């Protein structure tokens, strides 16, 4: 197994609601005019990240054990994105594993959002604001009042939302998000504001399937990280959120910090700000917008520099 730290090259998506901030502010290099999503870590068939000129999937298969002992085989169970919402995304919902595997031949989609940037007044739609039945939901889609039935969550940099399958949701305009999710690309659109694509066509909706999987009971939302683990002169480390699919931490560091590496899990680091070096079996320069793969092995890895980053494991 190659233990070298590697920079990952993302796959890019130019969905109609996206903007240009990922290119302008996060050093993303793409010929696309719009970069709505940057799939930083992906082995999914709909968009694969690259390392050293080969797909991330091929790289993992060529380096047995790189994912760590938590994973049985070579199937990376997560997908990580940066998302630039210049406009509101569609009102949508994701199924759980059982439904997705039965009808879509894909995984369900549990996901977590970390707010990287948010313009003043920005908000997300997350869940219904009051209990409703499927008939009321259907009527609200038909008459365009569905956004009035949803819970608006106003957000700022550093806020966190954990979105379980079945939660009706949408990212609002003016927000950049770090998203970590199950490896899946199953999204059911309930409502898309009657927008049209470049060919003048409205995007497909998935009303019946959305009705099947939507949770129509209100939920409570916590926007805070789970806990602060370290807070000293060199680093502030917070555990953002943990679930059966991923564990996510936020680092704000200066000078030099040591991160304990283990054989249990691969690590992915996404730089949100600053620059420096990551030092392990090799040394890699990193800057804002980079995503780095650190293989699973027992040892220590250092970050040297000044920066803010998300540290994600399995």
- Look up residue 221 and give its two tokens: 């939302």
Rounded-to-integer distance, Cα 133 and Cα 312, Å: 37
Rounded-to-integer distance, Cα 176 and Cα 179, Å: 10
Strands 283-287 and 267-279: antiparallel
Residue 154 host element (H or E): strand 150-154
Length of the chain: 314
Q: Degrees (nearest 5) of the Cα angle 123, 127, 133?
A: 140
Rounded-to-integer distance, Cα 278 and Cα 125, Å: 37
**DSSP code, position 40:** E
Active site residue 189: yes
Q: Which of 101, 152, 189, 241 is catalytic?
A: 189
Rounded-to-integer distance, Cα 160 and Cα 112, Å: 7
**Distance set, CA 182 to CA 78, 126, 299 (Å):** 4, 18, 27
CA nearest to 287, candidates 6, 4, 27: 27
Contact between 175 and 85 under an 8 Å Cβ cutoff? The reply is yes
Rounded-to-integer distance, Cα 130 and Cα 145, Å: 14
Which residues does the annotation mark as catalytic? Answer: 189
């Amino acid at each position: 197994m190659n233990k070298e730290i590697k920079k990952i090259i993302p796959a890019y998506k130019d969905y109609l609601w996206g903007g240009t901030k990922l290119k302008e502010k996060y050093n993303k290099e793409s010929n696309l005019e719009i970069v709505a999503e940057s799939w930083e870590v992906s082995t999914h068939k709909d968009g694969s990240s690259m390392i050293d000129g080969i797909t991330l999937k091929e790289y993992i298969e060529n380096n047995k054990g790189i994912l760590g002992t938590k994973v049985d085989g070579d199937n990376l169970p997560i997908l990580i994105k940066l998302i630039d919402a210049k406009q509101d995304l569609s009102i949508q919902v994701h199924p759980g594993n059982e439904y997705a595997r039965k009808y879509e031949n894909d995984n369900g989609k549990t996901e977590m959002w970390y707010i990287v940037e948010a313009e003043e007044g920005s908000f997300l739609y997350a869940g219904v604001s009051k209990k409703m039945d499927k008939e009321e939901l259907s009527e609200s889609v038909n008459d365009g009042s569905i956004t009035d039935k949803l819970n608006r969550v106003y957000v700022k940099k550093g806020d966190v939302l954990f979105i379980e399958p079945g939660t009706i949701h949408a990212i609002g305009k003016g927000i950049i998000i770090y998203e970590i999710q199950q490896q899946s690309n199953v999204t059911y659109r309930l409502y898309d504001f009657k927008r049209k694509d470049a060919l003048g066509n409205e995007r497909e909706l998935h009303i019946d399937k959305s009705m099947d999987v939507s949770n129509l009971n209100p939920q409570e939302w916590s926007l805070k990280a789970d806990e602060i683990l370290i807070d000293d002169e060199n680093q502030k480390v917070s555990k953002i959120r943990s679930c059966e699919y991923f564990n996510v931490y936020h680092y704000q560091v200066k000078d030099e910090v040591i991160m304990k590496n283990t054989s249990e899990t691969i690590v992915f680091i996404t730089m949100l700000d600053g620059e420096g070096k990551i030092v392990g079996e090799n040394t890699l320069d990193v800057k804002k917008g980079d995503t780095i793969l650190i293989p699973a092995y027992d040892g220590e890895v250092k970050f040297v520099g000044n920066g803010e980053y998300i540290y994600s494991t399995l």
